[in-house]
Amino acid sequence: MNQDALKRQAAERALEFLPDSGILGVGTGSTVNHFIELLAPIKGRFEGAVSSSDASTERLKAIGMPVLDLNATGGLEVYVDGADESNHQLQLIKGGGGALTREKIIAAASRRFVCIADETKLVHVLGNFPLPVEVIPMARSYVARELVKLGGTPQLRENFVTDNGNVILDVHNLEIMEPAALEDQINNLVGVVTVGIFARRPADVLILGSADGPKLVEL
């Protein structure tokens, strides 16, 4: 099976974790795109969805799913999203698609976070995937210097602006042994909007597409 087929396999399994009704949290990325396609036949069960990006909003609207404002919905029962890396504690690196801030907000507002990915995303130590950090444009150089002090090599994501109007620094050469501590440390830098470490709010369930069928990891 190719990687795209594994992603779809994980997205299919995620359907089993959806409530019978209510409002869904929906993330961003190639694996989530499969999930949105699979929602189309059952969209009538739900009042709508809260989306983490403009791209996912357009895809949800294309299948006829109402897209709602999180400020109006209150807490969500379940949030389905992908990840760029996950360790065995279900702490994640996210933000490869640039939607990390909105993704982190929806994850925090959701009772259950179901993460879908292919099996290559499961690692022992986070950091091989460059760590995204969303930054206020004025603070870009300052934050980059501070990230160097933490041992990373930040690179500006060229020709990219987030849905919030900010820039992203992708930090290479990190070996993240204490994800929650580094999440706090980077989030406390002035000018950082958020960092793509999801350790304070990890996934509750990780579904990994594999050649042997979907694998489930739960805390």
Catalytic residues: 103
Retrieve residue 198's tokens.
């999801």
Alpha carbons 83 and 63: distance in angstroms, whole number: 23
Q: Sheet containing 92-93: which strands, arranged edge to edge?
A: 85-86, 92-93, 197-198
Strand bridging mode 192-195 / 197-198: unpaired
Spatial neighbors of 125 by CB under 8 A, at least 6 apart, are 87, 175, 176, 177
In degrees, to the nearest 5, what angle opens at C-alpha 102 toward C-alphas 13 and 67? 70
Spatial neighbors of 16 by CB under 8 A, at least 6 apart, are none
Contact in structure between 115 and 92 (CB atoms under 8 Å)? yes
Retrieve residue 124's tokens.
């022992």
Tell me the residue length of the chain: 219
**Could you tell me how far CA 68 lies from the centroid of its own chain?**
19
